[in-house]
Amino acid sequence: MLASNFTARRSLCVAARRNASSASAALFNREPAAPRIRTTSLPGPEAQAAVSQLDRVFDTRSLNMLVDYDQCCGNYLADVDGNVFLDVFSQIASIPIGYNNPALARTASSPSMVSALINRPALGNFPSRDWAEILSTGLLRAAPQGLDQVFTAMAGSDANETAYKAAFMWRRAQERGSADFTDAELSSVMLNQAPGSPNYSILSFSSGFHGRLFGSLSTTRSKAIHKLDIPAFDWPVAPFPKLRYPLEAHQAENEAEEHRCLRETEKIIDQFRNPVAAVVIEPIQSEGGDNHASPAFFRGLRELTKRKGVLMIVDEVQTGVGATGKLWAHEHWGLTSPPDMVTFSKKAQAAGFYYGDASLRPNKPYRQFNTWMGDPARALIFRTILEEIERLRLVDNTSSVGGYLYSRLDSLSRQFPDEIQNLRGKDRGTFIAWDSPRRDAIIKTAKSKGVNMGGSGERTIRLRPMLIFQKHHADILLDTLEQIFKSA
Amino acid sequence: MLASNFTARRSLCVAARRNASSASAALFNREPAAPRIRTTSLPGPEAQAAVSQLDRVFDTRSLNMLVDYDQCCGNYLADVDGNVFLDVFSQIASIPIGYNNPALARTASSPSMVSALINRPALGNFPSRDWAEILSTGLLRAAPQGLDQVFTAMAGSDANETAYKAAFMWRRAQERGSADFTDAELSSVMLNQAPGSPNYSILSFSSGFHGRLFGSLSTTRSKAIHKLDIPAFDWPVAPFPKLRYPLEAHQAENEAEEHRCLRETEKIIDQFRNPVAAVVIEPIQSEGGDNHASPAFFRGLRELTKRKGVLMIVDEVQTGVGATGKLWAHEHWGLTSPPDMVTFSKKAQAAGFYYGDASLRPNKPYRQFNTWMGDPARALIFRTILEEIERLRLVDNTSSVGGYLYSRLDSLSRQFPDEIQNLRGKDRGTFIAWDSPRRDAIIKTAKSKGVNMGGSGERTIRLRPMLIFQKHHADILLDTLEQIFKSA
């Protein structure tokens, strides 16, 4: 009843077809048929007035659009001037199953949600009676193979940082065995000095992005602007393979490059002045420009980290939850032994890390702890997201729509080789990107034609549609790109 | 209508009296009259079974109680065995206006909340049309005097860390002026080396607690267990005054101690190897054992930081939002110039930092940025919390109830000087604490009698009741303590 009351108010966007059995059925049957641009320029007059108001109290220099969320529906984003955009950026890859999704609306207006919002627990001390059930029917149902425990967090940065903390505690436990902390550790740690605060490190890869707080930012290597003026730990960076495209044409050379990067990584693990406790890596480097490596590279990294006694943390903050045609992108690798930890956020709308090994629970309580330890309200949302992914077979959807989208982009790239360079993301669902020498202009023009896209790296256009992105949406995107390229 | 439907379901806990005009009127008229312990031991049989279930997937070693939130009401916390406790710990000081608060329930089931939950924006890029209004009628209505801008975050740790980032960027801007980044900065920063990653520092105080991520943990100096095995920045720690109680009897000595600490702080700012960009301090050191200093000490620190060109960040994560008898604890100091930043979380149920000076907006966009930048759902909750604080005059309530509680504890401490040592928090609302040589046993016994209390530091009992804690609740707490002391 709560949900129907809610849905009635939002006439724009109502229930998905229950019998959607093929990927081509509409998943939102009141979605607009196409984008609609009403103002002669962007931002429109309403937005301009409202932004200057907002800027008095909130930095608006990174603002892209002032959104009327009540008017958004499915894959479509509406601004305050009544312009409606096909959204293939999805709040920086973080909207999973569409704006004003009716199933999420039901969950969001349920008594359980109200309770979660108004009785926010300190989860480590006072979890709710149904927390085990919420975890096992939600977050843990999504757990990658081989990992059956979860530590909940708030966003991608602290998901990674709590994983790093687990790695450091694990590493010291290997050395310390069952011995207790020494007096030297107990006193030096209060002064931030070794041995209590050891000079261990996390190895990350060039162009990687893992967040913006102090530990995660020390592993982020995407762009200087993300890091400038902020103190950082003396942690090592290894080269991420720079593959040449098309892959088929550069197989031997790309293999050699990946071997070189693995050898370099091994050398750093062996020699870096601050011992490496863990390696963190994205399956596809997203903020850094959608850089891919082959499954063989990642299998090699798993083998190397095992051999060196270094943990492997797979950062699936952006790649996780279905967009690559698998629930987790690292499922594409065919690992024989799972990563030690997998972090998540964004499309999960909740955050944290999965792990499999009880040795990653520290030896004492209150070492991996904080007041809220995540948010049960967001865990409830993720459970519904997973249910919808299963009910509507959305991972299959990203796989098939992604295949279609990639092949048409591939054709376009042959037609407009200057516009679409280094197309990548084959067999990776809708997680597709290419380089564009005039990237920012293309994104701006696409927006004026009603398609909201995003960039990454120095000159990459990355597609990050939602899991409900279908063939007819892909056609709108493709036709818009073709128009832009033709009129260039 | 949504709210009444919700409330009907939860018969335990219904609307507050609208005409509550004095602090003695019940703020929740269906609150239990007293705690009720039904099981012969704690945890009870239901809890024991459920915890072992939960432990399979979630570390339960820090678990205090498995809670039935549907049965909680106002100041009362209910466990899964039907035991009902007067809660003076409040989810580590983070529940502001009572469990199942009806005003929060209305907000939580409103269409705006549903939209905030299911259409989570990347706030820096795509804020909602009403974000300016949500900020100005909510978060910014609570802004401390002299600060009129806000950066939103997720929890206390990242609230502090984003404030530290602002301080570092500000510091470099002072040195750099209008010059752009140098080539040396742009290249060194990608290797985490100076000058791009400068060796600046944040100065914090002994026993302070500022969070558990890498930057915030580097400023946390509460306990070794919070920090062990985690790499930390080489940042300085200054002595926090160790006052002797009762204050009246040790005035000269305490003044000398505070002067010593200020002199030592000045020396560190002048001499520490890594230049100090900001000082971070709690108005009352909470996790570290409820350590107080006088308003004169904090005024001295403000004067010192101004004189040295160092920013002053006041961490009000635990002290903020009303419990000290002021909305912000630093209002007790009589500063003539405001802190540069004030961080908040916990009882705000939202997080971030306030600031006043446009120079704390970095020179370029995307330097202080992340995908979500907080959570509009939680900002809506905070707005209602503030409305209820104003409507029910809850800051006055904590001031008057706190005064009553303190004076009766003061009497008890004379009667039982071994049990209540160094009582502190006079004129600080309900933010009261004392030292107890058998702290853990007292807390355990109180729990068995239906009062849920918390500890901090090595041997401190800290009271952290909600803002709706009243005289009759205080009497239950006091009577319970007296019983325990008498039967010792």
Residue B141 lies in a domain: yes
Residue B418 lies in a domain: yes
Residue B2 lies in a domain: no
Q: Residue B152: what are its φ and ψ, rounded to 5°?
A: -90, 145
Cβ–Cβ below 8 Å for B366 and A225: yes
A425: left (phi over 0), alpha (psi -120 to 50) or beta: left
Q: Are residues B281 and B253 in the same domain?
A: yes
What pLDDT is recorded for position B359?
A: 86
Instruction: Report the residue of chain A nearest B199, measured CA to CA.
Output: A231
Three-point CA angle B279, B284, B286, nearest 5°: 105
Report the residue from B118, B140, B365 with minimal CB separation from A61. B365
pLDDT of residue B1 exceeding 60: no
Q: Are residues B183 and B76 in the same domain?
A: no
Residue of B5, B135, B229 to mutate for A, most A C-beta atoms under 10 A: B229
Q: Are B318 and B450 in contact (CB under 8 A)?
A: no
Q: Are residues B330 and B423 in the same domain?
A: no
pLDDT of residue A149 exceeding 50: yes
Q: How many domains does chain B have?
A: 2
What pLDDT is recorded for position B358?
A: 83
Confidence class of residue A1 from pLDDT cuts 50, 70 and 90?
very low
In this prediction, residues B185-200 reach a mean pLDDT of: 97
Q: Are residues B64 and B186 in the same domain?
A: no
- Domain-terminating residue out of B341, B360, B391: B391
Catalytic residue among B28, B168, B205, B209: B209
The interface predicted TM-score (ipTM) is 0.94
What pLDDT is recorded for position A18?
A: 41
Give A-chain residues touching B1 at CB under 8 angstroms.
Answer: 5
Chain A nearest C-alpha distance from B61 (Å): 5
Catalytic residue among B158, B315, B340, B435: B315
pLDDT of residue A160 exceeding 80: yes
What pLDDT is recorded for position A13?
A: 62
Percent of chain B with pLDDT over 70: 95
Report the residue from B104, B105, B125 with minimal CB separation from A64. B125
Query: For the domain that residue A437 is a member of, what is the CATH number?
Result: 3.90.1150.10
pLDDT digits (tens, 9 = 90+) for A378-434: 999 999 999 999 999 999 999 999 999 999 999 999 999 999 999 999 999 999 999
Cβ–Cβ below 8 Å for A105 and B114: yes
pLDDT digits (tens, 9 = 90+) for B271-284: 999 999 999 999 99
Cβ–Cβ below 8 Å for A365 and B59: yes
A313: its two tokens: 């943390």
Residue B442 lies in a domain: yes
Where in the sequence numbering do the catalytic residues of A fall? 209, 315, 346, 371
Cβ–Cβ below 8 Å for A190 and B99: no
pLDDT digits (tens, 9 = 90+) for A337-381: 999 999 999 999 999 999 998 889 998 889 999 999 999 999 999
The closest of B96, B32, B42, B40 to B66, measured between CA atoms, is B42
Cβ–Cβ below 8 Å for A59 and B165: no
Question: Judging by DSSP bridges, how do beta strands A276-281 and A311-315 pair with one another?
Answer: parallel
Q: Are residues A387 and A397 in the same domain?
A: no
Residue A286 lies in a domain: yes
Confidence class of residue B13 from pLDDT cuts 50, 70 and 90?
low
Lookup result for tokens 């081989």: A146
Q: Of the ranges A467-481, B52-66, B112-126, B470-484, which one carries the lowest mean pLDDT score? A: B52-66
SS (H, E, C) chain B: CHHHHHHHHCCCCCCCCCCCCCCCCCCCCCCCCCCECCCCCCCCHHHHHHHHHHHCCCCCCCCCCCECHHHCEECEEEECCCCEEEECCHHHHCCCCCECCHHHHHHHCCHHHHHHHHCCCCCCCCCECCHHHHHHHCHHHHCCCCCCEEEEECCHHHHHHHHHHHHHHHHHHHHHCCCCCCHHHHHHHHHCCCCCCCCCEEEEECCCCCCCCHHHHHHCCCCHHHHCCCCCCCCCEECCCCCCCCHHHHHHHHHHHHHHHHHHHHHHHHHCCCCEEEEEECCCECCCCCECCCHHHHHHHHHHHHHHCCEEEEECCCCCCCCCCCCCHHHHHCCCCCCCEEEECHHHCCEEEEECCHHHCCCCCCCCCCCCCCCHHHHHHHHHHHHHHHHCCHHHHHHHHHHHHHHHHHHHHHHCCCCCEEEECCCCCCCCEEECCCHHHHHHHHHHCCEECEEECCCEEECCCCCCCCHHHHHHHHHHHHHHHHCC
Q: Dihedral sign for Cα A476, A480, A482, A486, please.
A: positive
Residue of A13, A185, A229 to mutate for B, most B C-beta atoms under 10 A: A229
Q: Are residues B327 and B463 in the same domain?
A: no
Q: Are A144 and A342 in contact (CB under 8 A)?
A: yes
Instruction: Report the residue of chain A nearest B378, measured CA to CA.
Output: A117
The residues facing B462 across adjacent strands are: B433, B454
What pLDDT is recorded for position A101?
A: 96
Catalytic residue among B137, B234, B371, B444: B371
Residue A422 lies in a domain: yes
Q: Give the E-state strand segments of A323-479 in sequence order.
A: 341-344, 351-355, 421-424, 433-435, 451-452, 454-456, 460-462
Chain A nearest C-alpha distance from B200 (Å): 6
In this prediction, residues A245-260 reach a mean pLDDT of: 96
Instruction: Report the residue of chain A nearest B170, measured CA to CA.
Output: A229
Cβ–Cβ below 8 Å for A120 and B370: no
Q: Are residues B419 and B315 in the same domain?
A: no
Question: Judging by DSSP bridges, how do beta strands A351-355 and A451-452 pair with one another?
Answer: unpaired
Query: For the domain that residue B372 is a member of, what is the CATH number?
Result: 3.40.640.10
Q: Are residues A380 and A413 in the same domain?
A: no
Q: Are residues A408 and A437 in the same domain?
A: yes
The closest of A205, A47, A51, A155 to B369, measured between CA atoms, is A155
Residue B46 lies in a domain: no
The whole-angstrom separation of Cα A150 and Cα A320 is 15
Q: Are residues A118 and A214 in the same domain?
A: yes
Cβ–Cβ below 8 Å for B226 and A136: no
Residue B346 annotated in active site: yes
What pLDDT is recorded for position B16?
A: 43
Instruction: Report the residue of chain B nearest A382, measured CA to CA.
Output: B118
What pLDDT is recorded for position A56?
A: 87
Mean pLDDT of chain B: 93
Domain of B174? 110-391
What pLDDT is recorded for position B27?
A: 79
Confidence class of residue A150 from pLDDT cuts 50, 70 and 90?
very high
- Domain-terminating residue out of B391, B422, B454: B391
- Domain-terminating residue out of B330, B362, B391: B391
Report the residue from B58, B92, B171 with minimal CB separation from A125. B92
- How many residues can be counted in chain A? 488
Give B-chain residues touching A224 at CB under 8 angstroms.
Answer: 181, 185-186, 189-190, 196
In this prediction, residues B462-473 reach a mean pLDDT of: 98
Mean pLDDT of chain A: 93
Report the residue from A1, A53, A199 with minimal CB separation from B231. A199
Q: Are residues A208 and A329 in the same domain?
A: yes
In this prediction, residues B74-86 reach a mean pLDDT of: 98
Element containing residue A441 per DSSP (H, E): helix A439-448
Q: What is the DSSP letter of A128?
A: B
Instruction: Report the residue of chain A nearest B454, measured CA to CA.
Output: A125
Residue type, A333: W
pLDDT of residue A213 exceeding 80: yes
In this prediction, residues A283-307 reach a mean pLDDT of: 97
Residue A275 lies in a domain: yes
Give A-chain residues touching B440 at CB under 8 angstroms.
Answer: none
Q: Are residues A238 and A193 in the same domain?
A: yes
Cβ–Cβ below 8 Å for A62 and B365: yes
pLDDT digits (tens, 9 = 90+) for B112-165: 999 999 999 999 999 999 999 999 999 999 999 999 999 999 999 999 999 999
The whole-angstrom separation of Cα B101 and Cα B18 is 13
Report the residue from A59, A100, A114 with minimal CB separation from B6. A114
Q: Of the ranges B54-68, B150-164, B291-305, which one carries the lowest mean pLDDT score? A: B54-68
The whole-angstrom separation of Cα B164 and Cα B311 is 10
Chain B nearest C-alpha distance from A414 (Å): 33
Question: Judging by DSSP bridges, how do beta strands B460-462 and B433-435 pair with one another?
Answer: antiparallel
Cβ–Cβ below 8 Å for A211 and B372: no
Q: How far is CA A422 from the centre of its chain?
A: 22
The residues facing A279 across adjacent strands are: A203, A312
Cβ–Cβ below 8 Å for B234 and A192: yes
pTM greater than 0.90 (yes/no):
yes
Cβ–Cβ below 8 Å for B119 and A72: yes
